[in-house]
Structure 1
Amino acid sequence: MEFTAGRVLRRAIGRHRARMIAGMLVLALHQATEVAVPITIGIFVDQAVSTGRLEPLLWCVLMMVALFAVLSNAWKTGARQVVHAIEYETHLLRLEIARRVLDPRGHRTGLRSGELLQIATSDAEKTSLVLRAVSLGFAGSAALVVSSVALLLVDVPLGLGVMIGVPLLVLGIQALSPLLTRRTASQQEAVASTTALATDLVGGLRTLRGIGAQHNAAERYRRSSQETLKATLRAASTNGLQDGVTNALSGLLLAAVAGVAGWFALDGRISIGELITVVGLAQFIAEPVGLLGYSGQVFATSRASAGRLASALGSPWAITTGTSTSLDPAKPLLSLEGVGYKTLSSLDLSLRPGELVGVLCYDPRDADALLTVVAGRTADHTGRVLVGGTDVEELDIDLVRRSVLVEQHDTDLFEGTLRSNLLAGSSNSSGLERVVEAAAATDVIEAYPDGLDHPLSDRGRTLSGGQRQRLGLARALLAEPPVLVLHDPSTAVDAVTEELLAEGLAEVRGVPTLATLVLTSSPALLGKMHRVLVISEGSVVAEGRHAELADTDTAYQEAVLR
């Protein structure tokens, strides 16, 4: 299904049509009531003030009270309906973006995390404002129609002048909308780029300080921020130009109508009350014209944001999936046959139930490529990747994710407690203590008086790298996936802890129903593996037990023994 800015906007209006219709009608009633105020005052002058009669005066007072009661309640009721629709649409758009970003099939938006965050927050909110633009535009149009009809009833030339002049005025104002859309889109792209840069810099702040590059990073952010400021000022200048043109032209229209009406009154063509009505209506017309101008600005902004939303929602999936749910228990849990991707070339690998297999990559790029393929984050590889004897492209994506879990080197922890991070949404805590011990993370829990209920900050920033690494391993072990793929799970721990971790991993995962693939150069971990595969220049060049390879392979000794 193709996503475009127009489709996103039409869908936003369509799925709130009931509230929008109610809101627009009530807001149109509010504008019509505003039109009735100068008309009532004109009648009051002609029927009560000029004649001195009490009865018309009382009726006019009661009419004004009723008009203002309807006027205030109509605005309140109509605005509530539209605001409810705007807020709910914003919520729905944010959920859509979140589902798209978190979908296990991945996406090819080409956008960084900060840019996606900007789309999910600012652009979602601005896209939803199209509902405000439509409702206020409808209300303003209704006010102009009622005003024109009232002027026609007072004097036909005056009414015709307004009916011809106002559409020309609105068309002139809308001529700036394409420029405003382009400049708003440029501004939002610049803001998203700066937000993404800020997110990256904050995430890598420790590294930047470690290598002394924080000043260069700050300068880069300053340049990006200045570009964003320039784009914002260009968009603001266009907004200001449209506001100025709207006020100037509506003022000229007001002066023309009032001048002609005054001439007609002096000539005796219209009464004093009708003159007051015409002048009041002419002055009021500036409000709906301003509403139409404002609606045009909001629509231009919404269209620009909708285009960015559409690019994210309509981006192609990173991988293709099927619907099959059949796995052959007699086949390896995970197989790679002749896989080629980036630095990998014709790589063969199999993982059977009960196996602990270590992988040593002389080139770190081979490890990264292998993880990308096994994690299912790309469909651009050659060869076959099979889970339970079936190509992953044919399997249901949820089944693949339940069957194969890849625990990355950089562990992601979330705001919450230690317990909630380890459980990761699961309610099964029966094996929690066992996996914490297996991951050599008992000391992490015992370091806090409240233990597993100790609160963590965002990304676990209060923990050391080794603590985060062990908690991530414990979380992966607790999930008990049939295939667990680990990438350097012990690089941030000392030798004693590494040995405890290796023993715990072998104990928990060394059961007939599970299989584990560990990409590492740690002799402690490799020593616990049933077999070790050595990958060089993209393919397997050696295979055997750790002790055998360490005794016979010089290159293996140099890479592993330390």
Structure 2
Amino acid sequence: MSVLWRAVTRNRWRLLAGCVLIGLHQACEATVPILIGETVDLAVSTGSLLRLVTWVGLLGLLFLLLTTAYRNGARQLMRALADESHALRLEVAAKVLDPRAEARTGDVLTISTTDADHASYLIDYVPRIFGALMATAVSAVGLCVISVPLGLVVLIGTPVVLVALQRAAPLITRRVAVRQEVAGRASSLATDLVTGLRPLRGIGAQEAADARYHEVSRESLRATLLAARTQGGFQAASTTVSTLLACGIAILAGWFALTGRISAGELITVIGLAAFLGEPFGTLAAAPSWIATARASADRIAEVLRAWPGTEEAADPPVLPTDGECLGVVVETDPSALLQLYDDGSPDVLVAPHHPELFSGTIRENIILTEISGQNGLDGVLSASAAEDVVAAHPDGLDHAIAERGSALSGGQRQRLALARALLARPRLLVLHDPTTAVDAVTEHAIARGIRDLRHRPGSQLGTLIVTTSPALLAVTDRVVVMRDGEVVATGTHASLAAADPGYRATVLR
């Protein structure tokens, strides 16, 4: 509920203005049948032209007021809704871009779009519910003035109906949450399959991947249909009950008119209010379903926002290269926790992840990301990263267009372009995590020597830290540090460790 409460509080002034204006609109709507009834009794029945003109004029002013109130109220609410939806998307994006994040792409997609929209719709729901309550209250007062029993039907029947319908809200929340979870899983799997289509074809795993996606998509369809049936059944029940309540009021009023307990104008008022009450009754009856959907989406957003704390004091990296040093690090367990220690956002430090990220654009645009980098040294970078072969493979060269995420390139090509981008940035400390796992042995040796020659010429003050188990890369480092469970267990050159440390040989020379 924290996400929904924050949405209300940070849009409180627009929300307050929207509630007042929408409430005024609904109150005016409820007053229309009352004025029409009074017009019949006081003007039409008496045959007074002056009274008729007066009451028609009042009706005209009432319509002007309700129209103006609705337009201005809706404008305030739509602005608040759009701003809140945008704010939620930014919050989700900021969290999933955290280097500690491990959110699936499909989850990110559904949470930052569908769930952000559903949660922000609360800003629209609150004024509509307030307006429905205002309309019901004005109608109940008007009916009580005409006949106390008619007013009591509204005042007692409405809360009873709402309490009864509210019991279905938890079920709706659960099923909507399941639907969103499974839909995110299906979207994530689809994204992964499209990205890895070339490798899947290479190993002949298309049919297995197709079967897996078919299974997940069917599960998503079942969850969607179950949630839709639940919401549809609830909507049908709420509409039926609301209609029966309004019909009951109209039938009771007809009986009172036949027995002479109310006038013709009062009958018209009651019939008009009974017809009008279908709208606020429907809104109040549907409110539990709306809030349940908003809450389910808000819970999914809150889960993302809680997953990785925004502020956390980071520990110091356990090992750092000295000025001009090329340092190799062999981590015998998962290296992801180690890499997070170097990613402090400093412009002097660049951490190049193992899984390279490319975006739609040209090869040039994927390598040269800032004006500071520019074209200076581009040829040397392309040679050091062996990316010049990727450029030469396309007639357009550096201007060759790349699809989103580089899906048309091989894994080795993506790695080389990402490495070229990192080398061109020339950070004081460059941290590389297994930058050559998708290239052949000959290319790997060329890249290892290229990194060494580019960044560690005589007199260089640049530091490079390579987290890897590749012998080719470790062979060009000045020093190798072996880590186990966050602790340094061995230090030396690649040659000395390979000769004297059986554990090192088992990890690296396998």
Q: TM-score, normalized by length of structure 2?
A: 0.87
1:423, CA displacement in angstroms? 3.4
1:288, CA displacement in angstroms? 0.3
Please say which of residues 512-521 and 72-81 is displaced more in the overlay: 512-521
- Separation in structure 2 between the aligned mates of residue 94 and residue 554 of structure 1, nearest angstrom: 51
Unpaired runs of 5+ residues, structure 2, are none
CA contact (8 A) 2:242 2:285 kept: no
Counterparts of 1:19-168 in structure 2, within 5 Å, are 19-104=14-99, 106-107=100-101, 111-168=103-160
SS of the residue aligned with 1:233?
A: helix
- Separation in structure 2 between the aligned mates of residue 78 and residue 187 of structure 1, nearest angstrom: 33
- Residue 191 of structure 1 is matched in structure 2 by 183
- 1:240 is the counterpart of 2:224: no
- Residue 176 of structure 1 is matched in structure 2 by 168
Which of 351, 357, 377 lines up with 2:321 in the alignment? 351
- Residue 544 of structure 1 is matched in structure 2 by 493
- Separation in structure 1 between the aligned mates of residue 304 and residue 186 of structure 2, nearest angstrom: 18
CA contact (8 A) 2:385 2:451 kept: yes
Deviation per CA, 1:394-422, whole angstroms, max 9, x where unpaired?
Answer: xx9334xx455333443221223333322
Matched residue type, 2:404: D
- 1:478 is the counterpart of 2:424: yes
Please say which of residues 182-191 and 297-306 is displaced more in the overlay: 182-191
Q: TM-score, normalized by length of structure 1?
A: 0.80
Rate the CA distance shift 1:219–1:318 in 2: closer, same or farther, 3 A.
Answer: farther
- Separation in structure 1 between the aligned mates of residue 170 and residue 107 of structure 2, nearest angstrom: 24
Matched residue type, 1:356: C
Counterparts of 1:208-247 in structure 2, within 5 Å, are 208-247=200-239
Matched residue type, 2:153: G
- Residue 423 of structure 1 is matched in structure 2 by 368
Which of 332, 341, 344 lines up with 1:397 in the alignment? 344
Rate the CA distance shift 1:228–1:258 in 2: closer, same or farther, 3 A.
Answer: same
Matched residue type, 2:345: D
Deviation per CA, 1:104-154, whole angstroms, max 9, x where unpaired?
Answer: 4x24xx743322332122111111111122111001000001111111222
Task: State, as a whole percentage, how many aligned pairs show the same letter.
Answer: 46
Matched residue type, 2:452: A
1:19, CA displacement in angstroms? 0.9
1:464, CA displacement in angstroms? 3.7
1:358, CA displacement in angstroms? 4.4
- Separation in structure 2 between the aligned mates of residue 557 and residue 248 of structure 1, nearest angstrom: 75
Counterparts of 1:266-415 in structure 2, within 5 Å, are 266-317=258-309, 320-322=312-314, 335-336=318-319, 351-358=321-328, 366=331, 369=334, 371-376=335-340, 397-399=344-346, 402=347, 404-415=349-360
Matched residue type, 2:339: A
Deviation per CA, 1:237-259, whole angstroms, max 9, x where unpaired?
Answer: 22122222222222222222222
- Residue 330 of structure 1 is matched in structure 2 by none
Deviation per CA, 1:281-308, whole angstroms, max 9, x where unpaired?
Answer: 1121111011112222111100111111
Deviation per CA, 1:85-114, whole angstroms, max 9, x where unpaired?
Answer: 11111110111111112124x24xx74332
Matched residue type, 2:325: E
Unpaired runs of 5+ residues, structure 1, are 1-5, 325-333, 337-349, 378-391
CA contact (8 A) 1:321 1:397 kept: no
1:494, CA displacement in angstroms? 6.0
CA contact (8 A) 2:332 2:482 kept: no
- Residue 207 of structure 1 is matched in structure 2 by 199
- Separation in structure 2 between the aligned mates of residue 45 and residue 500 of structure 1, nearest angstrom: 95
CA contact (8 A) 1:535 1:542 kept: no
1:45, CA displacement in angstroms? 1.6
- 1:516 is the counterpart of 2:435: no
- Separation in structure 2 between the aligned mates of residue 556 and residue 153 of structure 1, nearest angstrom: 91
1:16, CA displacement in angstroms? 0.5
CA contact (8 A) 2:482 2:490 kept: yes
1:276, CA displacement in angstroms? 0.5
Matched residue type, 2:143: L
SS of the residue aligned with 1:516?
A: strand
- Separation in structure 2 between the aligned mates of residue 272 and residue 410 of structure 1, nearest angstrom: 78
1:28, CA displacement in angstroms? 1.2
- Residue 452 of structure 2 is matched in structure 1 by 506
SS of the residue aligned with 1:144?
A: helix
RMSD of aligned alpha carbons? 3.4
CA contact (8 A) 1:409 1:486 kept: yes
Rate the CA distance shift 1:545–1:141 in 2: closer, same or farther, 3 A.
Answer: closer
- Separation in structure 2 between the aligned mates of residue 172 and residue 561 of structure 1, nearest angstrom: 70
- 1:14 is the counterpart of 2:9: yes
CA contact (8 A) 1:375 1:405 kept: no
- Separation in structure 2 between the aligned mates of residue 149 and residue 34 of structure 1, nearest angstrom: 14
